[in-house]
Structure 1
């Protein structure tokens, strides 16, 4: 079984393709750190679109999503962006929890798994 790694770094790859599935790393808003939740979510989902395209798939094939919020008070704000982005009729299973993220400028982190 082949394994394809996308944007390989010394600590982790940004995406891995194996067995007909694409797994992304947790994605944070590198283009909008410190911005409001909605702006960070928009940045993250754009990045996820890029990673999925690089592996030959897209958001219509999402299977799972895990979302971490630094403050659950941002849940509705994040959902407003998520709901506009996700493909109607192709919504993945999803979990969303509040947790402390790796750095204080990040308020949202999202990881997805998709089919090819």
Structure 2
């Protein structure tokens, strides 16, 4: 069986696909600055959805997701955006934790595992 990689760089890929399962890298906002957590969450979810689509999957196919927030006390702000985005009836297994991220400009990072369409 082969492993397919999407968005491959020397250090990482945006997604790796094996046996019909899509493993997504951590996605962070490309635009930071003084943007709110809600704005960063919207951007990260849009990027996640783009990667899922490129991998032949979609948000309704997400099996599990890990969400990393720099300030867990702001989880309700993130949840407001998440609840509007998640496919109704297809909420994945989810863990949300507080973490120090790679850049102080990031308020959020999300990674996921999904099934390809047709599996």
CA distance in 2, matches of 1:94, 1:29: 20
SS in 1 for 2:79: helix
Q: 2:32 is matched with which residue?
A: 33
TM-score under structure 1 length normalisation: 0.97
| Within-5 A mapping of 1:56-75 | 56-75=56-75
Q: 2:45 is matched with which residue?
A: 45
Of Structure 1 and Structure 2, the greater strand share is in 1
**Shift of residue 73, structure 1, vs aligned partner:** 1.9
Q: Which runs of 5+ in 1 are unaligned?
A: none
Q: Deviations over 1:52-101 (max 9, x none)?
A: 11011100011000000001122000000000000011010000000111
CA distance in 2, matches of 1:79, 1:91: 12
The CA RMSD over aligned residues, in Å, is 0.7
TM-score under structure 2 length normalisation: 0.94
Q: Which runs of 5+ in 2 are unaligned?
A: none
CA distance in 2, matches of 1:74, 1:8: 33
SS in 1 for 2:91: coil
Q: 1:10 is matched with which residue?
A: 10
CA distance in 2, matches of 1:57, 1:13: 16
The runs of at least 4 consecutive aligned structure 1 residues that moved more than 3 Å come to: none
